[in-house]
Chain A
Amino acid sequence: MSTDSTAHGKTPTAHVSHHFRDANQEYESGKQGIWLFMVTEILMFGAILVGYSIFHAIYPEMFAEGAKSLDWKMGFINTLVLIFSSFTMAISISFVQKNQTKKAAIAMGTTILCGAIFMCIKYFEYTHKFHLGLYPGRYLDAAKVGAEHANLGMYFGFYYCMTGLHGLHVLIGMGLITWLLIRTIRGDFHSQYWIPVEGVGIFWHIVDLIWIFLFPLLYLVG
């Protein structure tokens, strides 16, 4: 934890909940809590990746056919967008720590915007696939799609489950950052208190990291 900052000529005081001894204890607890929660997130996505690898090994050609029908360019743009948003999220934390509230707010706003761009691109990808009849599982119209493998629906089952679950996390992340933004503008966070910003930041990085795994596995590995 950094020492007092007097950049703006005032010393904001830390807010400490009743059951903590001091701000440091609260900060350490909060940080450990959010990291532990991230472990559960990684395990959850890890398990679906295990399922993906198993079936990829059983039906390599079917998965290749599925991967071919995805547009890697869109996925790539999305990857860049998310990496950039991770950057803006990270600098927003350091702005908060330096009591530069306005810059922090702008960085957070950019992060939300990036999330929105990501979701828009995802939306176009999804609607395009629906248009082609590339639905998950039994709803995939093998005749219309001209699928070479009868169970191509399984690939899209994985595709929609993995990206859908990830997209849900992006939406939750955007909601959380919006909440941060409001509180930042209100002046709740400063050089003495920024746990929520850091917590959400870690969450956002993990969501980003998961995408970095999903993108090559779904779009590139064929």
Chain B
Amino acid sequence: MGHSSAHGENYLNHEKGLWSWLTTVDHKRIGLMYMITVLFFFFVGGVMALLLRAELFAPNAVAGVGQVLKSGDIYNQVLTYHGAIMVFMVIIPGIPAILGNFFLPIHIGAKDVAFPKVNLASWYCFMFGASLAIGTFFASKIDTGWTFYTPYSIRTGTSTVMMVLGAFVMGMSSVLTGLNFIVTVHKLRAPGMTMHRMPLFVWALYSTAILQMLATPVLAITLLLLAAEKIFGVGIFDPKLGGDPVLFQHFFWFYSHPAVYIMILPAMGVVSELITTFSRKVIFGYTAIAYSSLGIAAVSFFVWGHHMFVSGQSSFAGILFSFITMLVGVPTAIKMFNWVATLYKGSIRFDAPMLYALGFMFLFAIGGVTGIMLAVLPIDVHFHDTYFVVAHFHYVMVGGTLMALMGGLYYWFPKMFGRMCSDAWARMSFVFIFIGFNVTFFPQFILGAMGMPRRYFDYIPAYETLNKVSTVGSWLIMAGFLISLYTLVRGLRSGEKAPMNPWGSKTLEWQTSSPPPHFNFDVEPIVTAGPYEYR
């Protein structure tokens, strides 16, 4: 990667050698280190997903193709690792840690994040936690599902403690990153860069950071108590000892519901950037989008109970949580409408990043309306823990977050590496991923409506056809990501030199060279206007 740009020195060749990377405090280099590790974990989690889909290609009774994984236990382990890896090591750190680390300081005209050493420590925390979590694979494999529900997680396997501690340490990494971003946004903005001149990506990261900081500590203590439960049998979550397993669910979702906004808000930020740039038009309703991020962040702390409508919590709690969940739907809808309105009378180009952004809007619309369905009490009673839920959150997490991450990677690739990717190949990857995604997950809505529960190793024959379709779709997605990998590597090795501002964007990162110099800007920028002044 150590090639030189047109300007000579940049952050990539400022220092050389592996050691200079492992000890770097440059936010851009840390962003790249996250990129490499997150993409690796994405590969591992993706292989797990393909295994799951392959197993579900046919019911086990069908000779020959029925059984791919040897037993229900192995299937359960694979689904646990798929979930845990994708949630804790891919989707949560994905956009904030890769694109956020790289572009947040540049977007506000700063030289670095507020605490560069903490930023590096955060990466090491992430690596250490991830190693613990993956390490369980070589100890005794865990099969709790990524939710670690008690009392199952108390009774099964010995290495759950290791996994839980891994998640704890990764949580610490998330807290430190969030803290860093908040202070950076508050204190390090360039002269003239008021809060209301910040790009919406920064607003999204800012809201995310608040969530990371306020929600993660609760998960941390919950996981510690779970570990204590496992080691000492203290009985807090174990009904046999007078504890309450539903309390664990309350604690867990108090973190994990905000966590889904930790996953989706940055994606919304990326999409806001892509839509304006490729429509060459000011964003519609800047304030509404910025504050709806904060609104979502605030309300998301009070909706955790909608994961527990059938868990035995009181009817009153169910009604209350359903109501608040409806409220969180509004700011989300606002964002969708704003993006569509931004396209109106724009000048729209269809480069690969824009295709990913439009794909995001398509899939997120479906993920959004099905989310509203799931918030309606009696509907959720039917759909809870069925494939409808699986389809819904894949539409939001993969169709939303991952599409935005891919779009963001293609968009900022020229800036990050100073080279262009082949747009034709990138568009092809989009076509495969987009079609494959719908083929995989749309049938799962129908399966869920028909009543197929999730986390099933085997199913009744009535569900066979749709499962087959879904599995075929997963191969298309795989093809799409392999094409993406090829495109990125090819761009890295032999892409043509990128100009300073290939897309004609107005935000600050495009006003510095590609790739940026060590301190981001040769001269500290002085900001005089908003981020989307396309006049």
Contacts and interface: CB of A to CB of B under 8 A. Distances in A.
Direct contact of A and B (CB under 8 A): yes
A19 B234 contact: no
Contacts of A139: 232-233
A153 B228 CA distance: 12
Contacts of B247: 51, 54
A163 B97 CA distance: 34
A51 B243 CA distance: 11
B143 interface: no
B232 A36 contact: no
Interface stretch (A37-45, A117-125, A178-186, A201-209): A37-45
Interface stretch (B212-220, B313-321, B483-491): B212-220
B221 A47 contact: yes
A28 interface: yes
B109 to A, nearest CB: 11
Contacts of A136: 228, 232, 234
A137 B241 contact: yes
Interface string B230-250: 001111100001111001000
Contacts of A48: 221, 225
Contacts of A51: 221, 225, 236, 247, 251
B82 to A, nearest CB: 28
A157 interface: yes
B519 interface: yes
Interface string A147-168: 0001101101110110001000
A187 interface: no
Nearest to A18: B111
B2 to A, nearest CB: 22
Contacts of A43: 214, 217-218
Given A18-B111, A40-B213, A154 B234 contact: yes
Given A19-B116, A44-B217, A165-B224, A36 B183 contact: yes
Contacts of A47: 217-218, 221-222, 251, 254
Interface residues of A, number: 39
Given A18-B519, A40-B216, A137-B235, A29 B183 contact: yes
Dominant SS at the B interface?
helix
A33 B114 contact: yes
A153 B241 contact: yes
Interface residues of B, number: 41
A126 interface: no
A41 B232 CA distance: 24
A138 interface: yes
A157 B236 contact: yes
Contacts of B216: 40
Contacts of A215: none
B114 A157 contact: no
Nearest to A27: B187
B243 A154 contact: yes
A25 interface: yes
Interface string A103-145: 0000000000000000000000000000000011111000000
Given A40-B213, A44-B217, A32 B186 contact: yes
Contact of B224 (A19, A137, A161): A161
Contact of A151 (B111, B220, B221, B241): B241
B112 interface: yes
Contacts of B236: 51, 55, 154, 157-158
B342 to A, nearest CB: 33
Nearest to B114: A29
Given A18-B519, A51-B251, A33 B183 contact: yes
A19 B217 contact: no
Contacts of A28: 187
B146 to A, nearest CB: 20
Contacts of B182: 32, 36
A59 interface: yes
Contacts of A138: 232-235, 241
Contact of A44 (B113, B221, B241, B519): B221
A25 B224 contact: no
A58 B243 CA distance: 10
B520 to A, nearest CB: 9
Interface in B19-59: none
A201 B165 CA distance: 28
B213 A39 contact: yes
Given A36-B183, A40-B217, A151-B242, A29 B188 contact: yes
A90 B180 CA distance: 26
Contacts of B251: 47, 51
A25 B183 CA distance: 11
A189 B221 CA distance: 35
Contacts of A20: 188
B391 to A, nearest CB: 32
B233 A137 contact: yes
A201 B190 CA distance: 30
22 contacts: A18-B519, A19-B113, A19-B114, A25-B188, A33-B179, A33-B183, A36-B213, A37-B179, A44-B221, A47-B221, A48-B225, A51-B247, A136-B228, A137-B234, A137-B241, A138-B232, A138-B235, A138-B241, A154-B234, A154-B242, A157-B234, A165-B224
Given A32-B182, A51-B225, A160-B228, 16 more contacts: A25-B187, A33-B115, A33-B183, A43-B214, A44-B221, A45-B221, A55-B243, A135-B232, A137-B228, A137-B229, A138-B232, A153-B234, A154-B243, A156-B234, A157-B228, A157-B232
Q: Which 5 residue pairs across A and B have the least CB separation, nearest first?
A: A157-B234, A138-B233, A137-B232, A137-B234, A44-B217
